[in-house]
Amino acid sequence: MEKIIQLDILYVYVTFIDEVTSFSEKIVSMVAAVDPQDHTLRTYKIERRLADGRAYALSLAKKYKLTYDWLKERIKL
């Protein structure tokens, strides 16, 4: 990243690592929005704002019954 920033290259970097946004003042943070009433619904809107650490993975796991407890119950090893 240091080399890319030093060369002033325009690029897109997709990650769930929030700390990347504070690496340089040249980095622009963009976040995919979700419905505020139902975090399992994606709005497909991209907002320019700081990463907030929310991936909503647990909301999706609950929606599709893929939490640890659900899986443990279904698999019963």
Q: What is the residue extent of each domain of the chain?
A: 2-75
Contact call for residues 48 and 29 (beta carbons, < 8 A): yes
Average pLDDT rounded to a whole number, residues 31-42: 91
Which tens digit of pLDDT belongs to each residue from 54-67?
Answer: 888 888 899 999 99
Instruction: Quote the pTM value.
Output: 0.65
- Residue type for position 68: Y
Which tens digit of pLDDT belongs to each residue from 3-16?
Answer: 999 999 999 988 88
CB atoms within 10 A of CB 20: 15
Reading the block at residue 68, the tokens are 């640890």
